[in-house]
């Protein structure tokens, strides 16, 4: 999940009217935050917006697809195993 600097710069330039946008790398993607709330992700030079029940249909009607970062069952299993291990470690502390 590569993210090119020119694409990231372009997205931030287009969104600057929203205010102060902060960027945080996480799990191979980039999260975009406005006023401390995550509203978007960049993955493989594709911009994805956070949706909810109020706007999901509009995006689907426009032919947009959801982010699917873990395409295989094996990778999903490995991620869940890692998260479970981290959770157990934190819980024991």
Residue 86 CB partners (closer than 8 Å, separation 6+): none
DSSP string, 41-72: EEETTEEEE---TTTHHHHHHTT--------S
Write out pLDDT tens, residues 42-88.
888 888 888 888 888 887 888 877 666 555 555 555 555 555 655 55
Beta-bridged to residue 22, according to DSSP, are 33
Write out pLDDT tens, residues 20-46.
999 999 888 899 999 888 888 888 888
Q: How many structural domains compose the chain?
A: 1
CA distance to 21, 77, 87, per residue, from 24 (Å): 10, 25, 22
- Please check whether residue 76 lies inside any domain of the structure: no
pLDDT of 12 strictly over 90: yes
- Please check whether residue 66 lies inside any domain of the structure: no
pLDDT of 91 strictly over 80: no
Give the structural domain span for 25: 1-50
- Please check whether residue 25 lies inside any domain of the structure: yes
Q: For residue 30, how many other CB atoms are within 10 A of its CB?
A: 20
- Please check whether residue 4 lies inside any domain of the structure: yes
- Please check whether residue 67 lies inside any domain of the structure: no
């Amino acid at each position: 999940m590569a993210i090119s600097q020119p694409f990231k710069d372009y997205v931030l330039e287009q969104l600057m009217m929203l205010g102060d946008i902060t960027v945080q790398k996480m799990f191979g993607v980039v999260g975009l935050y406005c006023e401390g709330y995550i509203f978007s992700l960049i993955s493989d030079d594709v911009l994805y917006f956070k949706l909810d029940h109020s706007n999901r249909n509009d995006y689907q009607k426009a032919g947009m697809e959801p982010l699917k970062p873990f395409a295989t069952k094996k990778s999903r299993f490995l991620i869940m195993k890692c998260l479970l291990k981290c959770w157990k470690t934190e819980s024991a502390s």
